[in-house]
A and B are shown apart, each in its own frame.
Chain A
Amino acid sequence: NAGVTQTPKFRILKIGQSMTLQCAQDMNHNYMYWYRQDPGMGLKLIYYSVGAGITDKGEVPNGYNVSRSTTEDFPLRLELAAPSQTSVYFCASSYGRTGNGNSPLHFGNGTRLTVT
């Protein structure tokens, strides 16, 4: 059982370049999330989705876009990379709305992105 799979694991971008971070889950979870993790700041929610075709902004959405065409996939798009987007990005999924004791978050292993 693969769980949540993220690709790539590492990426270096130049300022102004674009890229898509891929995320796929095989647990048939309705809810999917993108977080960024910066030292000493914990995890900040970028975007989330409650099901195919439905997405919404989290705490720090500026500079990112998402789509959810299928239940399994939730890609994150960076259009014009900036140094402030250097971070580790985590995709997660849950069966129900997170925070519910029966719906823990399942995380991928992250994508480490450096923008120079």
Chain B
Amino acid sequence: TQLLEQSPQFLSIQEGENLTVYCNSSSVFSSLQWYRQEPGEGPVLLVTVVTGGEVKKLKRLTFQFGDARKDSSLHITAAQPGDTGLYLCAGFSPITNTGNQFYFGTGTSLTVIP
């Protein structure tokens, strides 16, 4: 079972278009992170959001944490080929007594066509 579901799984758009990636769960998270992964490399952290309703901007990328802290979105304005990669959300959810309380989403593979 996947605690965090991302949509869409694949996205191919033209340079200059806008897009939104969604990260959804039925569980509450105390914090949520977004990572970007390029081919042949490990994921790299883009942002961390911790407050319900929080919005953070990173140049053309806008991240939002849902009010109930169960979901998040990543919006890219005027996408560029350099935005191509796999986008992963990951959340910290203290819902179990096990040590593993940090979960990754299923990922969204973005291709921006020049």
Binding site for B on A (CB under 8 A): 4, 35, 40-45, 48, 56-59, 90, 92, 98-101, 104-105, 107-110
Q: List 15 A-B contacts (CB under 8 A).
A: A4-B42, A40-B106, A42-B6, A42-B88, A42-B107, A43-B88, A45-B100, A48-B100, A58-B100, A99-B91, A100-B31, A101-B31, A107-B41, A107-B43, A109-B41
Q: Does A107 lie within 8 Å of B42, measured CB to CB?
A: yes
Q: How far is the CA of A4 from the CA of B43 in the complex (A)?
A: 12
Binding site for A on B (CB under 8 A): 2, 4, 6, 9, 30-31, 33, 35, 40-45, 48, 50, 88, 90-92, 99-102, 104-107
- A45-B102, A48-B100 as given contacts; A110 in contact with B42, CB under 8 Å: yes
10 nearest A-B pairs in the assembled complex, by CB-CB distance: A99-B92, A107-B42, A42-B104, A104-B45, A101-B48, A43-B104, A99-B102, A56-B99, A42-B106, A58-B100
Residues of B close to A109: CB separation below 8 A: 40-42
Residues of B close to A99: CB separation below 8 A: 30-31, 33, 91-92, 101-102
